[in-house]
């Protein structure tokens, strides 16, 4: 198949990845290409060389004083891309952009499109999908997120995200500390992880990109000190090594997390998880591999850390192997993309 892959253009798709979507885009692009498909990725300039991505330029025309420059730039960049997308002769478009313009314009182009709903519903996207404007096919990475979208997208295929299990493996030596990793923004709740670790008396290491400088300075920096160490923004091999050596991983979503690659990566490394029960966490974490507590309940998370670190690390790895193997995810997307292309032919 000739596949055009769209992703969001806020960050380049390169290591160290800004977040889960960048990691997903990188792996699925190379994975489909390795299976013999002609894959063209449209992404922000500066993306990894091996992706051979077509750079989507920022467009800064037609600014309006009530809108941010970044909002307008994204709008015009996607608008220009969608106006030209049919010229590439793709069999199917694999849309992971998180943006309303591609789905709004799906009915105006000839090329069929599969849109992956990587987020819970938000106004611009739900407005673009209401009524007769909805075209194309849809998937999402968890049953929990499919339920969130049901009113607007009643028919949504669930394809869990996958990871390359060779890159996330147990290493043997396990320390006494906990690990939290991800984007350092308020929605991810790293400040609550720090508070829980202090209550539990368990040392904590943090890893991730400080995307929101104001949040980092107000909520993270003052909490650092004895027992809490910030590692910075790590490359995948470094992060995998840190995960494998942690006694427990903390996942603290303060929003309805649609999947949670951090959980799959932690369990693949044999590391149990203590998490707030929001979004898809209950889809991912069973009693054998971790503990779920009510959202934002720091005291409960502190207790859960102590319990979770006693879970079977072999069971953690086995769950990841069963549910989130990268090849299994590629099999499912390959089948769905082929079906989308064939039904439009």
Over range 241-246, report the average pLDDT: 97
Q: What is the mean pLDDT of residues 263-275?
A: 98
The mean pLDDT of 323-338, rounded to a whole number, is 98
Q: Classify the C-alpha dihedral 30-75-78-343 as positive or negative.
A: positive
Structural tokens at position 333: 């997307």
Q: Which residues contact 5 (CB under 8 A, 6 or more apart)?
A: 25, 28, 29, 32, 39, 40, 41, 42, 93, 94, 96
Q: Tell me which of 9-23, 152-166, 191-205, 256-270 is least confident.
A: 9-23
Q: In DSSP terms, which residues pair with 94 in a beta bridge? A: 5, 114
Residue 273: predicted pLDDT: 98
Is residue 273 within 8 A of residue 251, CB to CB? The reply is: yes
pLDDT in tens, 92-138: 999 999 999 999 998 899 999 999 999 999 998 998 887 665 678 99
pLDDT of residue 188 exceeding 70, the answer is yes
Across the range 303-324, mean pLDDT stands at 98
228-230: strand order across its sheet: 228-230, 204-207, 178-181, 248-251, 273-276, 290-293
Enumerate the β-bridge partners of residue 275: 251, 292
Q: Which residues pair with 38 in a beta bridge?
A: 2
Instruction: Share the mean pLDDT of the chain.
Output: 93
Q: How confident is the model at residue 216 (pLDDT cuts 50, 70, 90)?
A: very high
What are 291-306's pLDDT values in tens digits? Answer: 999 999 999 999 999 9
Q: What is the pLDDT of residues 18-72, one digit of tens each?
A: 888 999 999 999 999 999 999 999 999 999 999 999 999 754 444 444 445 777 8
Q: How far apart are CA 275 and CA 300, in angstroms?
A: 10
pLDDT at 336 over 70: yes
Task: Give the CA diameter of the chain.
Answer: 62
- Which residues face 92 on adjacent strands? 3
Query: Structural domains in the chain?
Result: 2-161+326-344 (3.40.50.2000), 178-323 (3.40.50.2000)
């Amino acid at each position: 198949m000739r596949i055009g892959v769209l992703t969001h253009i806020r960050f380049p798709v390169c290591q160290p990845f800004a977040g889960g979507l960048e990691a997903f885009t990188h792996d699925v692009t190379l994975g489909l290409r390795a299976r013999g498909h002609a894959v063209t990725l449209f992404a922000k300039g500066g993306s990894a060389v091996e992706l051979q991505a077509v750079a989507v330029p920022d467009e800064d025309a037609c600014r309006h004083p009530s809108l941010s420059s970044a909002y307008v730039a994204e709008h015009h960049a996607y608008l220009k891309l969608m106006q030209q997308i049919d010229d590439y002769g793709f069999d199917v478009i694999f849309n992971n952009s998180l943006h309303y313009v591609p789905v709004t314009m799906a009915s105006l182009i000839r090329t069929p499109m599969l849109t992956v709903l990587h987020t819970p519903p938000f106004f611009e996207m739900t407005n673009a999908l209401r009524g007769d404007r909805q075209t194309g096919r849809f998937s999402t990475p968890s049953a929990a997120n499919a339920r969130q979208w049901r009113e607007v997208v009643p028919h949504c295929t669930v394809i869990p995200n996958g990871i390359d299990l060779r890159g996330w493996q147990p290493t043997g030596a396990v320390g006494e500390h906990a690990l939290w990793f991800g984007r350092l923004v308020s929605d991810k709740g790293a400040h609550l992880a720090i508070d829980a670790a202090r209550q539990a008396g368990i040392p904590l290491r943090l890893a991730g990109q400080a995307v929101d400088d104001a949040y980092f300075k107000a909520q993270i920096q003052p909490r650092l000190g004895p027992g809490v160490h910030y590692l910075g923004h790590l490359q995948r091999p470094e992060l995998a090594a840190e995960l494998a050596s942690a006694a427990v991983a903390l996942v603290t979503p303060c929003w309805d997390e649609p999947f949670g690659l951090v959980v799959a990566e932690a369990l693949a490394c044999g590391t149990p998880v203590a998490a707030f029960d929001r979004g898809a966490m209950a889809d991912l974490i069973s009693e054998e591999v971790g503990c779920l507590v009510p959202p934002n309940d720091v005291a409960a998370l502190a207790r859960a850390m102590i319990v979770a670190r006693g879970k079977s690390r072999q069971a953690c790895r086995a769950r990841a192997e069963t549910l989130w193997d990268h090849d299994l995810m590629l099999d499912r997307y390959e089948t769905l993309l082929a079906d989308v292309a064939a039904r439009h032919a």
